[in-house]
Copies of this chain bind each other. A is one copy, B any other.
Amino acid sequence: MVSDRSLDVLRVIVQDYVASREPVGSKSIVERHAFGVSAATIRHDMALLEEEELIVAPHTSSGRIPTDKGYRVFVNQLADLRPLSAVQRQAIETFLGTATDLDEVLLRTVRLLSQLTHQVALVQYPSLGRSHIRHVELVPLGPTRLLIVLITDTGRVEQRHIDVNGNLDPEFLGEVRAKLNARLGGLGLADAAAALEGIAQDFHPDRHSFITHVVDSLREQVAANRGEKLVMAGAANLAVTPEDFSGSIVPVLEAIEEQVTLLRLFAEMEPEQHGLSTSIGSENAAFGLGETSVLASGYSSSGGEFARIGVLGPTRMDYPNNMAAVRAVARYLTRLLGEE
């Protein structure tokens, strides 16, 4: 039996608690908000909310704080995206305006987002997705060491070096390079592995082991998913309010350094309204992040590549502002990377 007003009460509890980080009581609510009812009435509503486990009282006689479930209801039903201020908008433009390559763009983006939200910001590298192979380059680095560079039409460069036996005379390398480019040029990454089949047959049997070695490495490069890498900024923001984490911030810092965890978390998040995904408090318990919330959106770049961008912070965070920031930056990033 959670009435409309009760939900309004929940909203202001979340807002006030997030702002003041102190349990909010009935009296302070009627003082700060024009509900037109008395404190006793608010208390009644609060009792209902507590029954629904949307709020909880830390001790018998203190104000209430939202539960994770309360935050969830707030985010789903009560929170408006707070539009970015003109200053924030401006910051996005000027911050991301000039950048020379993908690394630079993502680095700036993640720093910007962390500044806008005062949280830890995360940006996943776009997966290679539907890119096509533009060029394969073989560069001898030494008598037995070969660098293999794979360039796609979306401008990604994958490199790897391998040790080989047998000498690498330029002429032969040129032949291999030409053959590889003829076979692979223009192919989607997904099809590249198949196209590499049997390529060794085109060469003298003495060379087979070398070719196989090169082809194996190329296979790995094609399969390697850039999307499994992410950039991060603003870890210091976690330490600003260590009280938000019951024990210590150490596990959180560890989890965000262990990127694998975050990538799995990103992967499991389902988009909700406004193209945003949210995962709140205990919903992240499986990742050792039970006291943090993650807000994520997606962005795409020219090659149809898709990746995620988001922020991570204490459950007690400013959702309306942060959700708006994530969405705005994600959109801007899509625009920036999409246009050729």
Interface flag for A151 (CB, 8 Å): yes
Whether the pair A151, B149 counts as a contact (CB closer than 8 A) is yes
A151 touches B147 (CB 8 A): yes
Measured CB to CB, the closest approach of chain B to A176, in angstroms, equals 15
A149 to B151 alpha-carbon distance, docked (Å): 9
How many Å from the CB of A299 to the closest CB on chain B?
A: 18
Cβ-based interface call for A134 (8 A): yes
Residue pair A157, B161 in contact (C-beta under 8 Å):
no
Known: A144-B340, A157-B159. 14 other contacts (CB 8 A): A101-B160, A101-B161, A135-B137, A135-B139, A137-B151, A139-B155, A147-B155, A155-B159, A155-B161, A157-B157, A236-B254, A236-B257, A239-B249, A242-B242
Residue contact B239 to A239, C-beta cutoff 8 Å: yes
Size band of the interface chain A makes with B: 35 or more
Q: Which of A160-193 contact B (CB under 8 A)?
A: 160-162
Chain B residues near A143 (CB-CB < 8 A): 340
In contact, B159 and A139 (Cβ under 8 angstroms): no
**Contact between A139 and B149, CB atoms less than 8 A apart:** no
Distance between Cα atoms of A103 and B271 in the complex (Å): 33
Say which residue of B139, B155, B161, B340 sits within 8 Å of A100 (CB atoms): B161
Tell me the bound Cα distance from A257 to B147 in angstroms.
31
Distance between Cα atoms of A248 and B239 in the complex (Å) = 8
CB-defined contacts of A161 to chain B, threshold 8 Å: 100-101, 155
A215 to chain B, nearest CB (A): 15
In A137-152, the 8 Å CB interface with B consists of 137, 139, 141-145, 147, 149, 151
Q: Out of B145, B154, B239, B249, name the residue touching A141 (CB < 8 Å).
A: B154
A233 to B259, CA, bound (A): 12
Residue A250 at the chain B interface, CB threshold 8 Å: yes
